[in-house]
Amino acid sequence: MKLSYKLFGAFLASVLISLSSTAFAFTACQVTDIGGVDDKGFNATSWKGVQDAVAKHGIGSKLLESNAETDYVPNLNSFVSEGCDIIVSVGFLMGEATANAAKENPESKFAIVDFAYDPTIPNVMGLIYNTDEAAFLAGYLAAGVSKTGIVGTFGGINIPPVTIFMDGFVAGVNHYNKTKGTNVSVLGWDPESKEGLFTNNFSSLDDGRAFAQNLYDEGADIVMPVAGPVGLGSAALASELGTDSLKIIGVDVDQYVLDTKNQSVYLTTVEKGMDATVLGAIESAKNGSFKGGVYVGTLANNGVRIAPYHDLSSSVSNGLNNEIKKLRSSIINGFLSVKN
């Protein structure tokens, strides 16, 4: 009996030591949305930004995953009472919860991916991305590579950070048609009426497969799913059909690297550099230069970009590749508008 008490004491002591050893001078905390941190998309990329900050500056990090949207508010509150030095919330859908938490706790610093407040809130940095600039290049590329003359896209939910991909994609295809006199059409999104194909979730891989199948049946040979992990289902379908029949354009972060199972189907990825911007926000909070407002990721500051073509680079002609490089610099220099 005595021995077990001693053991228990030793156990408790070791717990206390391990508790105290986790105390950092600066802690960055992230709340994910319902996609979870392993979504191979924007939650994962933002978390990579936090991890980069940990590696670079030796700070502490904490993570809370939301199971349902009812978790947003309590998760943010947990981090406030935990005394986090900066709280990163991921996603447009957390916009209201983050704004309320920031107003109730003016001492805490927040950064939110994909949301810009108008008017701005002094203790929230909104990280938004001109994703349409990169999606424009992807649209031009798709129009140039497509053999059927039909490309497709679909989204998760009809919200600005999703539809901006689709806007840019359509604009890129239209620009190709205008320059080349072709008639490549885009299925799944109408930038005028703001209507299109949406799975209404960011989680069902089955939907990803079914929506890509529908677009394929309608003649599309390149599909860009803008729905986080849903796109993994589309990639699985493309892998079965073969890349001659169907190619996928990934979103958020180079899917060739993340989706290793079906990596050969990705023509490119429209990347949002959330890791870099989250890292930047954490660094600004750490060195005291943190300001509420908006930070915009663009082609110019590498906040958005398109990924290499990897296995499918043979299907992109040198001419097309050079045109895209030229387009990129004219967008950066402001000579070309990516709006429809």
Is the backbone peptide bond immediately before 119 cis, with ω within 30 degrees of 0?
A: yes
Q: Beginning with the edge strand found earlier in the chain, give each strand of the sheet holding 110-113 in spatial order.
A: 60-64, 27-31, 86-90, 110-113, 124-129, 293-297
Q: How many residues bind other proteins (CB under 8 A)?
A: 34
Residue 143, SS3? Answer: helix
* DSSP classification of residue 86: E
Q: Does 69 bind other proteins (CB under 8 A)?
A: yes
Residue number with CB closer to other proteins (20 or 289): 20
For other proteins, which residue of 35, 43, 50, 71 counts as binding (CB under 8 A)? 71
Min separation Cβ 241 and other proteins, Å? 29
Q: Does 73 bind other proteins (CB under 8 A)?
A: yes
Min separation Cβ 338 and other proteins, Å? 19
Residue number with CB closer to other proteins (72 or 256): 72
Tokens describing residue 138? 């992807």
Nearest to 316 by CA among 151, 150, 143: 143
Q: Does 287 bind other proteins (CB under 8 A)?
A: no
Site mask, other proteins, residues 161-200, x = CB under 8 A? --x------------------------------x-----x
| Host H or E run for residue 11 | helix 2-21
Rounded to 5 degrees, φ, ψ at 333 are -80, -5
Task: With contacts defined by CB under 8 A, name the span among 79-87, 133-141, 182-190, 280-288 that binds other proteins.
Answer: 79-87
Q: Render the burial of 180-198: b for 16+ CB within 10 Å, e for the rest.
A: eeeebbbbbbebeeeebbb
The residue behind tokens 């206390």 is 16
> Which 221-260 residues touch other proteins, going by CB under 8 A?
none
Q: Does 158 bind other proteins (CB under 8 A)?
A: yes
Task: With contacts defined by CB under 8 A, name the span among 121-129, 155-163, 263-271, 327-335 that binds other proteins.
Answer: 155-163
Q: Render the burial of 42-69: b for 16+ CB within 10 Å, e for the rest.
A: bbbbbbbbbbbbbeebebbbbbbbbeee
Min separation Cβ 49 and other proteins, Å? 18
Q: CB neighbours of 230 closer than 8 A, spacing ≥ 6?
A: 156, 199, 201, 202, 203, 204, 205, 207, 208, 211
Q: Does 206 bind other proteins (CB under 8 A)?
A: no
For other proteins, which residue of 4, 70, 289, 318 counts as binding (CB under 8 A)? 70
* Footprint of other proteins (CB under 8 A): 11, 14-15, 18-19, 29, 34, 62-65, 67-71, 73-75, 77-79, 81-82, 93, 104, 157-160, 163, 194, 200-201
